[in-house]
Chain A
Amino acid sequence: MTAHDWYVDNRLAFATRMLEGKEESVFANHVSRCIDCRAAVAQLERDLTWLPMGVAPVPLRPGLTHDLMHGVLHQRRTRWWQWTPALAAAAALVVALAVWTETASRDRRAAERAGSAPGTAARHRGLALAILGAERVLQETVRGPGYKGGFLLFYDQDTERWNVVVHDLPPARAGEEYRLWFVTDRGLLPDRNCGRTAGGPRS
């Protein structure tokens, strides 16, 4: 048995956070240097993405779905079906993504500016590092006509916060913007501090 066999043997335990503190640190250090183990662990985590759904989804209050479709999405009634997969998945993670009416042309210009800002690359690097070190990562892809985006939900140990990242969705249409909504025991509540970034929701 080689030294590396121990890591191979414990990939699943690491991916499912079952190693003891010291062992986990040793493994994490190894993963940062070993391409094979990093890929294997990443694959395990992807394969097990849905396992938390073994717990029953949060029971929604009666009429919530109706309110969501006819209240929040009333502006897009003819195309609401395009959003139901994303909504269903997001709500299952206790976070619902919805669109909301607002001005768009100003937001589009702001998005263009944000995309070329010097700090953008640095923010992305920071985000990537945070995800890499996250304790739990859930992710899903959302595809539609002409786009492929998705969302990530991860816990950042350094900041002790849950983070939601929604990426690569199509630009908001004129008069619309993206917003995050939270499914709670008090119903569907908007994130009032959610940035109104046009061109797509920001992380």
Chain B
Amino acid sequence: MNGEPVAAAEPDEAGTPGWHVHRTVHAALQALPREQHFVVWLAFFQGLTQTEIAERLGIPIGTVKTRLRLAFDKLRLVLASLKDWIV
């Protein structure tokens, strides 16, 4: 997927501010089933509406909603743990 968020290969990446968070979020996104991952990517990182996603993928809008809900249910668990990172 062109333009998809990817983990950059920086030699000193561990010293980059926010890298821990990025690695965690990136891993959570990668762990999603491909169809859920793709919908999240189109929605959150490409800014498409659910109607546009449905048209792009040729699936019912209800399926878009279902995939997003399933994906975010998983992501929320991971993202919630990050709240402890800064405090």
- Residues of chain A touching chain B, judged by Cβ–Cβ distance below 8 Å, are 9-10, 12-13, 16-20, 44, 47-57, 59-60, 62, 65, 85-93, 96, 140-143, 183
Contacts and interface: CB of A to CB of B under 8 A. Distances in A.
A20 B49 contact: yes
Given A18-B48, A89-B86, A54 B17 contact: no
Contacts of A91: 17-18
A65 B18 contact: no
A18 B69 CA distance: 12
Contacts of A142: 86-87
Closest 10 pairs (CB-CB, A-B): A92-B18, A91-B17, A88-B17, A57-B18, A47-B76, A56-B8, A54-B25, A55-B5, A54-B5, A18-B50
Contacts of A90: 17
22 contacts: A12-B69, A12-B72, A13-B50, A16-B43, A16-B44, A48-B79, A49-B79, A50-B21, A50-B24, A54-B26, A55-B5, A57-B16, A57-B18, A59-B8, A59-B16, A86-B86, A87-B17, A88-B86, A89-B86, A140-B86, A141-B83, A141-B86
Interface string B66-78: 0011001001100
Interface in B51-87: 51, 53, 65, 68-69, 72, 75-76, 79-80, 82-83, 85-87
A89 B20 CA distance: 10
- Of A18, A55, A88, A89, most B-chain CB atoms within 10 Å: A18
A59 B15 CA distance: 10
Q: Pick the most buried of B18, B21, B43, B47: most chain A CB atoms within 10 A of its CB.
A: B18
Contact of B18 (A12, A17, A62, A89): A89
Interface of B: 5-8, 10, 12, 15-19, 21-22, 24-26, 29, 43-45, 47-51, 53, 65, 68-69, 72, 75-76, 79-80, 82-83, 85-87
A53 B49 contact: no
Contacts of B65: 9-10, 12-13
Contacts of A19: 49-50
Given A47-B76, A141-B87, A56 B82 contact: no
Contacts of B87: 85, 141-143
A92 B26 contact: no
A20 B51 contact: yes
Contacts of A143: 87
Nearest to A93: B18
A144 to B, nearest CB: 10
Nearest to A19: B49
Given A55-B5, A59-B16, A62-B12, A18 B29 contact: no
